[in-house]
Amino acid sequence: MKKSGILNSEVASVVADMGHMDWLSIGDAGMPVPMETKKIDLCVEQGLPTFMQVLENVLTEMAVQKIYLAEEIKDQNPTQLANIKHALPNVEIEFMPHSDLKKSLAKTHAFIRTGEATPYSNIILESGVTF
């Protein structure tokens, strides 16, 4: 039995299968996920687990070189934006309209649904390399 890092078998499998520049998305409970995108639903109830709990867990095993966020997070959820910047201090951020971020979910290996209930708590992680 695995004793640390990502313990959810579906999340661990997706991260292990990723290559350089592949995308993985994590988001709030209300984000619409394209039918063709694998959805890993971790939501237990509203607020549980939080977006940041899941993001921080994924970051224990995933190298990230760039992230994509909705432009709207700047004004509508600056606290979450600060949390993301703190968790990924030296990672390039690209902002796009929320409508474009939703469309981009179709290009991700999976969408991890959290119980987060704050607006624009959605991210696309672009994998980096460890060498």
State residue 104 phi and psi, 5-degree precision: -70, -15
- Secondary structure (3-state) at 95: strand
The active-site residue, picked from 20, 86, 98, 109, is 20
- Identify whether 86 is a catalytic site residue: no
| E strand or H helix at 51 | helix 51-59
- Secondary structure (3-state) at 14: helix
User: How open is the CA angle 74-40-95, to the nearest 5 degrees?
Assistant: 20
Task: Report the alpha-carbon distance of residue 13 to residue 113 in Å, rounded.
Answer: 16
Residue positions annotated with a catalytic role: 20
